[in-house]
Structure formats: structure tokens, C-alpha cells
Amino acid sequence: RRLVKMPDPMNVEGQEVDKDLYSRTIAALGEDVVRAVASSTVFISGLNGLGCEVAKNVLLGGVKVLTLHDSKDITLWDLSSQFYLSEKDIGKNRAAASLPKLQELNTAVVVNVQTAPLNTEMIKGHTVVVLVDKTLDECISINNFCRSQTPPIKFIRVDVRGACGQIFADFGPEFVVNDVNGENPHSGIIYHVSNDKQAVITVPNDEQVEFGIGEWVTFKDVEGMTELNNLPGPVKVVDTAMYNFKVDLDTTSFGKYERKSLNRYGTVIEAKLPKKLEFKSLEENIKNPDFSRDPNQFNGVFDFDKFGRPELLHLVFNALDEYQRQKGDLPATQDAAAADALVQIAKDCKAKNGFDVEIDESIVRKISRTARAILSPMASIFGGIVGQEVAKAVSNKHHPVYQYVYLDSIEMLPDYDSMLPEEVQPTGSRYDAQITVFGRSFQGKLGALNLFMVGCGALGCELFKNFAMMGVACGPNGKVTVTDDDVIEKSNLSRQFLFRNYNVGQSKSIAATTAIKEMNGNIRVDANQDRVSPNTEDVYHDKFWSGLDCVVNALDNVKARQYVDARCVFFEKPLFESGTMGTKCNTQCVIPHKTINYGGRKDPETKEAPECALHNFPHNINHCLSLGRSEFIGIFDTKASEAAKYIMDPNYKNEMSSKIWGADGSELPDAQSKAKEANEILDGIIELLCDGMVKSFEDCVVWSRLKFEEYFTNKIKQLIFSCPKDMVNSSGAPFWSPPKRFPTMLEFNADDAMHMNFIIAASNLKARLYNVSDYKETRDPSFFKPILASVVVPEFQPKDGVKIETGERSADDRDSNSNTDALQQVKNKLAKLPDLKSHPNLKVSPMEFEKDDDTNFHMDFISAFANLRARNYSIEEVDKLQARLIAGRIIPALATTTSMVTGFVCIEMIKYFQNPDKAVFKDLQANLALPMFMQIDPESAPKTVPRTIKKVPDPVNHPEYVEEEDLKTIPADGFTVWDKIVIDKGDLTVQEFVDFWKNEYGVTCTAIGVQIGDAAIAFYNQFMQGTKKNLPCKMSEVYKRYNPDFTGTYILPACSLQNDDMEDVETPTVIFKF
């Protein structure tokens, strides 16, 4: 045993947090939670597959001390779910054998091992105790001891029994939740406040009220009605509308609301009120569970097809505890007599405790037959939930389990009465626990799967682990193809548990494959580093997709998901989709011809800040950070990349000119649009290689000082000159109304730390960009100050006629004011480009934005820029970490959420490969913060059907005139995205292809087009005389005329069809095979 002195669990102060490692966790939970976890001491007893899953998540969360306890030895049965054990460990203590691999997850955590029988002395001094696979008597004893401590030790009991599981939590008789849901508080800009018995708060017209009835709010920076800033506490929202809401506050005697300062305005902010919870002991709860305490108000139901299921499962788990007390163990696997006994015990428990629940004997028997099995997906689900509950227990953030959670997937269990008895008997393999649940044949099917996993980050690591434990692709004919073009970064290590410090910089897919083979050497993996996209269709070709059994997405961006989804739809392959965002997650089953596909759903549009707000009228720090990031990318990446191309390519000028003018000097058809693009590019090159050229580090410092003046002084001077304080808008209202803030100029001060942060970052970046010969990195202000003192800053005078984008003009207005001499400007700018012969050693090194490297000055520049701009507009500044989270667009991510969601994905996979026609699939919408795990029926694939549409032929002159048009379909009753029309009659001519539609479907083909890259090519159109010459040509011949490199065997023509009544006819995807 390894023993250490327990630290004070309440001593949160002084805990250092590695912000690079935990940046995604901080984004999800906040730094306060990470610090609280870092001071906690956790005791986990029971290192089976579930216990190991909990321990993994707790370690990745970064606790201070973790004690692993188990008095049991490893058996072959454990290997179905315990991913840190192998055949060579059989006979060893489970906790001791798990220690080395668990310790590797986080070497900053002190990990102890205890192997003696469980007793209360072991758990003294711990913050949280988690018991796995313990008898009810043991749990009651430990729970009572935890409640007796001051402060109480937080207690969690968790068990998985085959296809169902149970969590019980007791955080003490007085537990306060400081933030129930963890969401950022809503806030709003105040436009007006009425003097009423119940005050009405109005927000600007371009902002909508985000507060709900029953929420509480506070006020700050209110002028005129200053009483609002000093209320004794929050006030309640009692009514809401789109642009105003009413609060339960009498303001009739308050001052009149008015905005006196144009650089500030009042704001209203949601108040997060603490919630006090009174947990009851396990001993009391076991007989009188109160599911009405469910914070989601669903009475513990997370699947509306299973009303009453929590009560039934509570009774069955009670019966299992009683069976274990009477018999000394859980019911034997697939033992009919034991199942009968459990049914009787359940009836006795119901009578004894007065449970109001109807006993479904078939469910009780299935649970009895499988209760000893720890299935890897179920362990992932419950291990993820409990891992997050530990964080809640020590941080008082997010609503804990109160006090039971029961989840099941009984529907994935087979009909045992129809199976031969030997089918569910152990075989002496590591998969025996799973075989006794699903059968030998199913295990063989899993082993032979040909599966494609796209992505190998957090989701991919967890999925990979489950595949290895389940035996997916572990047979001689199985294969998991995994691909990820990303490499491992330090920030990955807090949730992508297959990676270690020594893997940083390595390929994710290759490193993960190496790690997963240590868990199960039989898994067959083809690890690739190709991004799945149209550009890699020579790698992931038709034969590859056609040979797959299923696809599992482990991606983090919508575009890639949509592409993979489109491939799965085309090749009619099942896709199992999932995603996470902090504590939130979802899954989607995409089943051919049964469910809607991923691309069939429309995500809500994200609200983007208008350009005028970013450049001239920011009113929050996000606007400032967005502009800072844009400026960094513009100077050091986009413009630098073009400048580097100009330096490297001697034909750069000619190539640019050839896009605008022909060989004879005549303008090309799209010369104007190309000239506008060229002018932007040339401006950037001239800025870098003419106006902003530097030769020494001192030049870089001078450039930075002038940039400071440009950004934070001169641009503000011009804005104030063009839009003075008393300006009114087109409707006559004050121009500087909320949400606009009237800015003030900054005067450079070398003793101001933020001013110097900008100078230091910008100077170092400029020197690196130009590879300045005398450059030596420094952050020492004393180096810069003497140079800055000698910089001569030119006097700036605002100019008349400068256009300020205010957002009031339309796009047409802006276009009408655009330069008409763009072509001449291109000529002038091309002539202005420097002669590179006079700069033989000139080299520009573009920089791709990297948010996670603290040595590269990228975030230093963006953070300083944003905070200085915030000062211009009296906006609250942020520290560098917050700047990184916002400007770096860091997606909040947690190991716990990822663990849980992948378990649900694997359950749906199991259902599919048992029987896709009879399976009861479920999608998931979950939020660990609440906690809520809603399992819902997938949407059916939407059908395109015959219909009547309305058209307005002349909306300008006659908007009242509406025409109706009937649309028909092939087939006549409609089609879904999964349907196709395959034309496999050889390489037809275009005329024969046209005739096919008339002969087969009685419709006229009026046009044929194909998509080649971004271009739509017309093969034939009855109204385009030039296309009729293609009619006698083979379809393949015409296609290869436009795409000579094509080597495929089919194309996807888009056909315009009409019936004899001149009605348009729609079809599913058409596949024409040569």
C-alpha cells in the first residue's frame, strides 16, 4: 500500500492550475471549479470496469489526491470492461494492478492504493467517497459515517447491472448549489426604465430580451434612476415581451431614468441565486425514494417511453441488494431459477416497503440474467456522470443528482427464450461478460465489423476504448479504419485519455492506435492521417465506402460532419453521430431509410456581430477580441502570405494581370470583380513591403508605436470627427444611443503595462515576420522604453468625407459608392510593388494563428489590442486566459461528458448490429450540469411528396398576383434522401438518356446538368441550341470533355423533368452508370 498524509480538503487557496492543460475545462466549468477540484481528495472503492471509468475521469479532472480501494482480485470476467487490465493481470488485486496506468493519466495527482477490507478509517479526511460494487449494508455503513463527519464527506454509490444502472448521491443535510445550471448569466443593455408599480425595462431594438419569467436580476451603471444600482438584492422578472420585461419592483418614487454619459449605459444582469438541498441518507432513501425531487421535474424519467421505469428499477435494485444479502452474490448469469427467485424477492420488497409500482416480470428476469455483467458502454455512461458529480460535490457548481438516477437500455437485450442456451454461455474469453448478455454469434459479428471512425480526439479516444473492450474488429476479418489529420497538443491531455506528455506533437490516430492495442492486442486498426473531404476521395473511394459496415463520427466541426453524412447517405451506410459542448452533449442515429440524416437538420444560425460594431461601435469585449484576432490574421498571416508569394514567384505580377486582362490587353468578362480582389491583395503587399518595411528590431519597435497611435488614437479621432456627440441618425434619434458607446482616445504611456504589452508583442511579431537579422526575443520593458522615447509620432488631422460604416446603409448603397476606377488602381499598385532585385535577402515568414502557445506572442498581441480598444469604449477588460477562450474560439470540453456520450453511441451500435429492422433506436440530448439525459425517438427521414407551391411572378409591380404550380414526384408517392434512381443500361448517348425518361417514366427530360467542382455544366438544355450537338455523343464522352482526368464509372446528373401536363417532376438522386 502507498499511504500519504491527507491535505486539508477545504484549503482551496494557493492551488496552482495549469491553464494550458485545463483550458477547455476552464472554458466549460470556470477556473473556480478547477481550483476546487485541484484541492479535493477522492476515495473510490471498487476497480471493476465502472470504477476504473470513474477513476479515469476523476484523475483527468485534476484532483489533489485519489485513493483507489479494492480487496478483490482480477478475473477474466473483468476484462470485458476494465481497460487497464489484461490477461497477465489475472489473480492480482484490481486496484494495485490498475495503479500504474491510472497514475500515467495525471502525474500531478497523488494516487494511493488500499487493498484491505473496506472500513471507515480508510475514508477519513477525504472530500468525496465513491462506492462501486458494494453490498447495501457496506454502503449504508459508509454513508452514515460520511454524514457524521464535519463537514460531511460527500457520498456516491454507483452500480451497473447489465443494461441498467443506478446512482445514489448524498452530499449532506445542508448542501448549497451556488450555480444550478452553469450557464453564463443573461445580460441586457437598458434603453429605458419606467417609473411604475412594476417597472418596465426596455432594451434596444436590435437586442432581444433573454430573461424568463421567474428569473432574478440586478442592475449596474444605471444613470438617473441610480436607486437601481443599490437595491438590497435581486428583483424578480414577472412578465416578458420581445423588447421589454417587467420586474416586481416599485420605481414610482425613484429618479427618472436617463443616460448622461455617452460612453456607458445601464445594464441588467441575471442573478444566480443559491439553492439549498437537504440530502437524506441512503438508509432512509432506500425505502422512501422521492423522485419528485428530480431537478428536471420529470420524476426521474429520461425516456418518455418508460414512464414508471425509475420506480421499477429502484425496486429491482432493492431486490438485487436483498438477493445478494441472502445468497452472498448477485444472481448467476442466465440462470432461470435465480431469475424466478429475484422476481419473488421483488414482490416481497414491494409488499414490505409499500412501493407503488407495477412489476414487469420480463424486465426483472432480464436484469437478473445479466446483473453480473459490466458492459463497457454502460460503464462509460455512469462513469462519466459520476465523474462530474465528484466535481459538483467539491465546487458547489451545477445541480447534483438528487438523489437517484436510474438509466437503462433494456430494449437492447435479446429475447433469451428464443436463443439456444449455449449461445449465452461463457467461452473462456475476455468478452465473456458481454457474451452472456448478447450471445456468441453477436460477439463474432462485432469481431468481424469493418468500421470507419472519423476523428480521433476526445470522442475518438473514448470510442476506441469501448471498441477494444467490446471486441469490435477484434476478429480476423474485422477492421477499424481511423483517420485524423491533427496532432496532439498539451491541452488535449486533460480529456483525450489515450495520450501522454510524450505524445505531444505526434499524430492522434497513430498514437491512439498504439495505446488501444495495449488494451486489446487483437483489435485490427488501419490508422490514417487524411482529412475526409472531397480532396481525399482517391483515398476514401467508392470501394472503401461500399465495404463498410458502419461509420462513427468523432468530429468537432459541422462541415466535416456534413460531408461524412452525405457519403453515408449516398452509400446507404449507418452513421452514429455525437457531439459535446462542455456539460452538454447529443447523439444521433442515422439509419438508412429509417431516420433523418445529419444534414437533414438545420442548426440554429449563430448571431454574428455586424462589421460596423466590430470596427467602429463595439459594446462588449467579444467585439474587441474579434477585431484583435482579425487584425493579427490580416497582418501576420493573410497579407504576409501574399507578400511571401510575391517574393517567391517572379511571375506574380503577370499572373495577377492575366486574371483581369487578356493577352491583347482587353478586359476579361469579370475584370471588375477580379480587380477589386486584386486591389485588396496589393494593398496588403504594399503595406508590408513598402510602407511597413523594417530592417532592424528598432524599426519594429517604431512600427509598433505608430500602430498604437493608428489603432487607439487616430482612428478614434476620425470617428469622433465624422460622428460627433450630437449627431442624429436618419430617423432623427440620437446617433449615440445604446448599444453604441461614445469613445475616447488613448494617450500612449510607456509606464502603462497594457500599453507596453501591445508594443512588446507587436515588435516581436514584426521582427519574426521579417526575419530581422539583429532580432533577439525580449519581453523586458527597459529595452523598449529608450527607443519609444525617441519615436516621432506625426500629427494626425481628421479629414472630411471619410466614410464611416454605421450599419444604416444598404448593401446596394455601399456598392454604388465603390470605386469605379478599380482597374487603374490595380495598374498603379502593380507598378508600386518593390523591385526585389534591390532586396535579395528579403524573406517574409507568415504566421498561422496558434492560441495555445504562450511563447509565440499571438495571444499577447490580440489580448493587448482588445483590452486597449476596450479602454477606448469604456468596456470591461479581460485577462489573457479569458481572451484566449474567446478569441481562440475554444470549445468547452470535459472528459466526463465525452465518456458518457460515447457510451450512448455504442449502445445504439449494439442495437443496430443485433437487428436494425427491429431495433428501438434512441437519440440523446443531455446536460450533465442539470443533470438531464433525455432519450428521444429519432426523427423519420422527411419525404419529398407531390405538392402545390405558390409563386409571385412579379413581386415588385403586382405582389397581389399569385400563381399556383403543381409539383409531381418519381415515385408518385414521394421519396426521401435515402432513395435513388440508378440508370445502369450502359454508356448511353445523351439522346438515349433523354429517351430513357420518356420510356421508363413517361416524362420529358428538358435539361441535363452535372456539377464539376464549383461549376455547373449543361449537357443538354432544350432551350440552349449549342447543347444539342451533345445529343449523339456518349454521356461519358461529354463528361470527360469537361473533366478529362475523370476515371470513375458513374456520374450524378441533375435532370429537369416535366410530365405531359407541363408540371415539373422531382426525383431522388440520379446515378448514371457508364
Phi-psi bin for 214: left (phi > 0), alpha (psi -120 to 50), beta?
left
Grid coordinates standing for 410? Answer: 433494456
Name the DSSP letter for residue 397.
B
Backbone angles phi, psi at 452, to 5 degrees: -115, 115
Grid coordinates standing for 780? Answer: 523586458
User: What is the spatial distance between Cα 516 and Cα 510, in angstroms, rounded to a whole number?
Assistant: 10
**C-beta neighbour count of 843 within 10 angstroms:** 11
How remote is the C-alpha of 782 from its chain's centroid? Answer: 43
Backbone angles phi, psi at 923, to 5 degrees: -90, 165
Instruction: Let me know: does 181 contact 295? Beta carbons within 8 Å.
Output: no
**How does DSSP assign 636-652, residue by residue?**
IIIIHHHHHHHHH-TTH
- Residue 550's DSSP bridge partners are 451
Angle formed by the axes of helices 895-914 and 376-395, to 10°? Answer: 160
Q: Is 452 helix (H, G, I), strand (E, B) or coil?
A: strand
- Residue 156's DSSP bridge partners are 130, 169
Cell numbers 407531390 correspond to 946
- Of the listed 612, 624, 690, 1055, which one is catalytic? 612
User: What is the spatial distance between Cα 707 and Cα 705, in angstroms, rounded to a whole number?
Assistant: 5
User: What is the spatial distance between Cα 594 and Cα 559, in angstroms, rounded to a whole number?
Assistant: 23
Sign of CA dihedral 35, 39, 45, 46: positive
User: What is the spatial distance between Cα 736 and Cα 733, in angstroms, rounded to a whole number?
Assistant: 9
Q: What element of type H or E holds 1006?
A: strand 1004-1012
User: What is the spatial distance between Cα 50 and Cα 820, in angstroms, rounded to a whole number?
Assistant: 70
461 is catalytic: no
Cell numbers 505531444 correspond to 504
CA dist 1031 → 148, 387, 988, 1053 (Å): 89, 66, 10, 15
Hey, what long-range contacts does 230-238 have (CB within 8 A, 24 or more apart)? 234/271, 234/273, 237/211, 237/212, 237/213, 238/198, 238/213
Burial class (CB in 10 A: 0-12, 13-18, 19+), 149: middle
Vertex 994, ends 989 and 995: CA angle to 5°?
Answer: 95
Report CA dihedral (644, 646, 648, 652) to the nearest 10 degrees.
150
Sign of CA dihedral 589, 595, 598, 602: negative
Q: Which amino acid is at 379?
A: A
Instruction: Let me know: does 954 contact 985? Beta carbons within 8 Å.
Output: no
Give the residue from 318, 195, 225, 217 showing the smallest Cα distance to 272. 217
**How does DSSP assign 1021-1061, residue by residue?**
ETT-GGGGGGTTSBHHHHHHHH-TT---SEE--EEEEE-TT
User: What is the spatial distance between Cα 229 and Cα 1056, in angstroms, rounded to a whole number?
Assistant: 65
Report H helices in 502-557.
508-519, 542-546
Residues with a catalytic annotation lie at 612
